[in-house]
């Protein structure tokens, strides 16, 4: 079953061409959108070590790659080994009267072959020709996932927390926390100590958040359901301050088009403008509950400059106590842009990071790291 293809709107394409003035770069961007996203997971170190998880998953026949030496908890699942398609084909021809399945197997279909059809393989028989894709949803249905040993998470979505660098015993606010990928990542880094306030405004998403936090065994969290601006205002009145704050803001999601082409259908420029206002309000409110020398990470999964650089520029101009800091990551990042349409942003904005799908074979992301200096 193929995905329904939602075509990008002309204005979106026009804007992306402006972001990628180099023709080849734009072509590469469009090309990677057609490719299946890489399957990545993050080992939940609250429950199992990356070495043990890797060993277990490899025993299941999964091919694991750990792309970053300094972050062994990040895994890419390149596929799973089976004994051979040829032997499967032969076996099914002799035992299976389902002609459709026979046909699919002889065509080496990667999707119709189900777990029950797969036979244990011997190490001597492993070769790249025995490698096939995991089935859709297989990562989420595996025993190791149900037991909370890993979290299915796109690599670009792991980056904000790598920059936040949570430490044990800190007090951290995750202002827009559902579905919980980054909250569980923060808890892992904090070794389940300290305190995370995980806030989410929508009830349905709070339930998903709570389920994921439970599965991952997160003990250092309190979940609230409030408008982020309102919550920060109340926290400020109680003088409840944080060492670090993560605002993974609601956004137009342009960076997720590869895995969720439906974003194309919902994309519209008015939404981008209104989200930009909401994002500015959220960051402005959060700054008030950040401790002196505290760090605030602002991230989105979109490329729209109105939701990214414009928000960062607004913060720099409105809050002189906030300073942008350089971002270092173990993959290719591009600087924030300082000119968009008729607007010019502070040169400091170059310190922000743009993550493009074609650079690292990931989704798209934007990250800004602020520090409160006075």
The CB-of-185 to another protein minimum distance in angstroms stands at 16
Q: Tell me if 327 sits within 8 A of 160, measured CB to CB.
A: no
Q: Is 166 in the site for another protein (CB under 8 A)?
A: no
Tell me: does residue 173 bind another protein (CB under 8 A).
no
Please, which residue, 47 or 371, has the CB nearer to another protein?
47
Member of 213, 246, 251, 316 binding another protein (CB under 8 A) = 213
What is the C-alpha separation between 299 and 320, in angstroms, rounded? Answer: 20
Strand ranges in the chain using DSSP code E only, listed in sequence order = 39-43, 62-65, 74-81, 131-132, 150-152, 171-174, 195-199, 221-224, 242-248, 290-300, 322-325, 334-335, 339-340, 343-344, 353-355, 365-372
Active site residue 301: yes
Given 2, 10, 21, 120, the residue binding another protein (CB under 8 A): 120
- Interacting span for another protein (CB under 8 A) from 227-235, 247-255, 298-306, 336-344: 227-235
How far from 212 is each of 159, 228, 263, 264, 289, CA to CA, in Å? 19, 21, 24, 28, 26
| Backbone φ and ψ of 194, nearest 5° | 70, -155
Q: How far is the CB of 42 from another protein (least distance, A)?
A: 17
- Does 204 sit near another protein (CB under 8 A)? no
Peptide bond into 276 cis (omega under 30): no
91 binds another protein per the rule CB under 8 A? no
Q: Is 223 in the site for another protein (CB under 8 A)?
A: yes
Measured on CA atoms in the order 304, 308, 311, 314, is the torsion positive or negative? negative
141 is a contact residue toward another protein (CB under 8 A): yes
Q: Which string of x and - marks every residue 31-70 that binds another protein (by CB under 8 A)?
A: ----------------x----------xxxx---------
Does 240 sit near another protein (CB under 8 A)? yes
Q: Token pair of 253, please?
A: 């999601």
Residue 222 binding another protein, by CB under 8 A: yes
193 binds another protein (CB under 8 A): yes
Is residue 74 part of the contact set for another protein (CB under 8 A)?
Answer: no
Contacts of 69 (CB under 8 A, 6+ apart): none
**Cβ 35 to another protein shortest distance, Å:** 26
Our CB check for another protein shows the closer of 155 and 209 to be: 209
Q: Given candidates 71, 121, 314, 319, which one binds another protein under the rule CB under 8 A?
A: 121
Nearest to 44 by CA among 178, 172, 212: 212
Pick the piece of the chain touching another protein (CB under 8 A) from 10-18, 63-71, 224-232, 245-253.
Answer: 224-232
Residues 291, 295, 297: CA angle, nearest 5 degrees: 135
CA 342, 348, 351, 352 torsion-angle sign? negative
Angle (CA) 309 155 358, round 5°: 65
Contact status: 221 vs another protein (CB under 8 A): yes
Instruction: Return residues touching another protein (CB under 8 A).
Output: 47, 58-61, 114-116, 118-123, 138, 141-143, 146-148, 169, 192-195, 197, 199, 206, 209-211, 213-215, 217-226, 231, 234-235, 238, 240
Tell me which residues are annotated as active site.
301
């Amino acid at each position: 079953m193929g995905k329904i293809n939602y075509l990008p709107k002309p204005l979106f394409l026009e804007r992306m061409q402006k972001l990628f003035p180099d023709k080849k770069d734009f072509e590469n961007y469009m090309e990677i959108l057609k490719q299946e996203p890489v399957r990545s997971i993050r080992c939940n170190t609250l429950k199992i070590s990356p070495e043990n998880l890797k060993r277990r998953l490899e025993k299941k026949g999964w091919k694991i790659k750990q792309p970053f030496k300094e972050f062994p908890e990040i895994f890419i699942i390149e596929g799973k080994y089976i004994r051979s398609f040829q032997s499967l084909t032969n076996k099914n021809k002799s035992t299976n009267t389902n002609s459709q399945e026979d046909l699919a197997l002889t065509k080496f279909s990667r999707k119709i072959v189900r777990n029950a059809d797969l036979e244990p393989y011997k190490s001597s028989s492993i070769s790249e020709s025995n490698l096939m894709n995991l089935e859709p949803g297989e990562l989420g249905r595996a025993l190791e996932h149900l037991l909370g040993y890993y979290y299915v998470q796109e690599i670009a979505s792991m980056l904000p927390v790598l920059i936040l660098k949570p430490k044990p015993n800190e007090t951290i606010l995750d202002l827009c926390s559902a579905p919980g990928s980054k909250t569980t990542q923060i808890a892992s880094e904090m070794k389940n100590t300290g305190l995370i306030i995980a806030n989410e405004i929508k009830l349905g998403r709070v339930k998903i958040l709570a389920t994921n936090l439970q599965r991952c065994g997160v003990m250092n969290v309190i979940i609230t359901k409030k408008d982020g601006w309102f919550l920060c205002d109340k926290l400020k009145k109680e003088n409840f301050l944080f060492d670090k704050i993560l605002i993974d803001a609601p956004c137009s999601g342009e960076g997720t088009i590869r895995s969720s082409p439906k974003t194309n259908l919902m994309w519209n420029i008015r939404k981008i403008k209104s989200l930009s206002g909401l994002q500015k309000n959220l960051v402005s409110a959060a700054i008030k509950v950040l401790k002196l020398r505290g760090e605030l990470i602002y991230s989105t999964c979109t490329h729209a400059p109105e939701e990214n650089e414009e928000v960062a520029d607004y913060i720099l101009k409105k809050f002189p106590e906030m300073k942008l800091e350089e971002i270092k990551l173990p993959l290719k990042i591009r600087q924030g842009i300082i000119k968009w349409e008729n607007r010019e942003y502070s040169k400091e904005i170059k310190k922000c990071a743009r993550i493009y799908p074609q650079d690292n074979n990931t989704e798209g992301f934007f990250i800004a790291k602020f520090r409160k200096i006075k």
